[in-house]
């Protein structure tokens, strides 16, 4: 059985602003609960070099973040003030997504224990996202020859609008987003393929849409690396979700994405994405279940993937 490779950095974990609704310490809790599901090898990322951040973001915005002078309008769009610690975190998160991809190329699967900052746009952050780790990593991987064609599969309940906008027009990167149509962001961007879903879409309709739309894109684009934004906010109990997936539904989603990667022989790196609720341990367990499911399907001998999915209580 292969080892589960998780990218983590101490900067990922923060107490965060008092009373804020973003569950900062799910990143710390993830280490504990993922370790309870089996052995994990930790890898610590370095900060993403500034020139690779500037390769997808406006240098003027990058300077605002790194010099801690983000203007009030952008601070409101991001949802919190960019402190020195959060600016450093925002450089390490894309470093972590890039490292997870490099590990996936070596081992078949790896996860970044943060990231999925898919709302960050060229000249501003938005929706709790400062720098877009998916776009930064995809661009660097292609530019450095680690991959020929990178597909970003975004199953967070919110559209990957920033990723779509930042990577639009690139022949060697494609973006897929399946999301709540009525959810944030109000103004959607255009991914290579968007699959908008109505509020309260449940497991079966969700899986029908996913299994109908993802394989044709994978067949036509033929990725040799997949970056998976595996947000758990499509869950029925998620505070910001508005879809109605169960734990079993999320597991079926993850198993299908893993099976598609396996079908075309593409390594897969997952990033954390959204997941919101007062019970931070419960949210961390949902993320851990996703990572363990992906690992078992892609790396460990998949003895009984169907039983594994059924083992999740509904």
Q: Which residue has the tokens 């906008």?
A: 165
234 binds Zn ion (CB under 5 A): no
101/112 Cα distance (integer angstroms): 9
CA 64 to chain centre: 24
Closer CB to Zn ion, residue 274 or residue 277?
Answer: 274
Cα–Cα dist 171/108, whole Å: 24
Q: Minimum distance from CB of 198 to Zn ion (Å)? A: 17
In the structure encoding, which two tokens stand for residue 314, read together?
Answer: 């509904």
Nearest-angstrom CA–CA distance, 175 and 161: 10
Residue 156 vs 254, nearer CB to Zn ion: 156
Determine how many CB atoms are found less than 10 A away from the CB of residue 211: 14
- Cβ at position 194, least distance to Zn ion in Å: 15
Nearest residue to Zn ion, by Cβ distance, number only:
274
CB of 300 to Zn ion, least distance (A): 28
Length of the chain: 314
Does 231 bind Zn ion (CB under 5 A)? Our answer is: yes
Q: Does 277 bind Zn ion (CB under 5 A)?
A: no
* Interacting residue with Zn ion among 9, 57, 102, 158 (CB under 5 A): 158
Taking the complex as a whole, how short is the minimal distance between the CB of residue 231 and Zn ion, in angstroms?
5
CB of 157: closest distance to Zn ion in angstroms? 5
Residues 180, 199 contacting (CB under 8 angstroms)? yes
**Among residue numbers 96 through 115, which ones bind Zn ion (CB under 5 A)?**
none
| 118 lies in the binding site for Zn ion (CB under 5 A) | no
- One DSSP character per residue, 17-75 reads STT-SS-TTHHHHHHHHHHHTS-EEEEPPPPPPHHHHTTTS-HHHHHHHHTT---HHHH
Query: Which residue, 103 or 155, has its beta carbon nearer to Zn ion?
Result: 155
What's the closest the beta carbon of residue 46 comes to Zn ion, in angstroms?
Answer: 26
Q: Of 133, 154, 156, 247, which lies in the binding site for Zn ion, with binding defined by CB under 5 A?
A: 156
The answer to whether 238 contacts Zn ion (rule: CB under 5 A) is no
- How far apart (Å, rounded) are the C-alpha atoms in residues 93 and 102? 14
User: Does 233 engage in binding with Zn ion (CB under 5 A)?
Assistant: yes
Interacting residues toward Zn ion by CB under 5 A? 156, 158, 231, 233, 274
């Amino acid at each position: 059985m292969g080892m589960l490779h998780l990218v983590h950095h101490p900067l990922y974990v923060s107490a965060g602003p008092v009373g804020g609704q973003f569950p900062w310490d799910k990143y710390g809790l993830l280490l504990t609960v993922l370790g309870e599901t089996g052995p994990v090898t930790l890898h610590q990322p370095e900060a993403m070099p500034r020139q690779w951040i500037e390769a997808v973001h406006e240098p003027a915005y990058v300077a605002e973040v790194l010099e801690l002078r983000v203007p009030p309008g952008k601070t409101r769009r991001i949802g919190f003030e960019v402190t020195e610690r959060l600016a450093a975190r925002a450089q390490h998160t894309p470093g972590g997504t890039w490292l997870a991809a490099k590990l996936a190329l070596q081992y078949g699967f790896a996860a970044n224990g943060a990231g999925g900052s898919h709302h960050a746009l060229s000249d501003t952050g938005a929706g709790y996202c400062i720098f877009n780790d998916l776009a930064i990593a995809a661009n660097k991987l292609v530019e450095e020859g680690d991959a020929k064609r990178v597909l970003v599969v975004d199953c967070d309940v919110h559209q990957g609008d920033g990723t779509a906008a930042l990577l639009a027009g690139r022949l060697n990167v494609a973006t897929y987003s399946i999301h709540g149509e009525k959810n944030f962001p109000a103004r959607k961007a255009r991914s290579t393929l968007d699959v908008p879903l109505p509020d309260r879409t449940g497991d079966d309709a969700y899986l029908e849409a996913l299994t109908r739309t993802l394989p044709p894109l994978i067949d036509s684009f033929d990725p040799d690396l997949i970056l998976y934004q595996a947000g758990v906010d499509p869950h029925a109990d998620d505070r910001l979700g508005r879809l109605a997936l169960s734990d079993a539904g999320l597991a079926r989603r993850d198993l299908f994405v893993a099976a598609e990667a396996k079908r075309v022989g593409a390594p897969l790196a997952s990033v954390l994405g959204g997941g919101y609720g007062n019970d931070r341990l419960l949210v961390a367990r949902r993320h851990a279940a996703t990572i363990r499911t992906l690992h078992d399907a892609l790396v460990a001998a998949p003895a009984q993937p169907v039983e594994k999915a059924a083992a999740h209580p509904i």
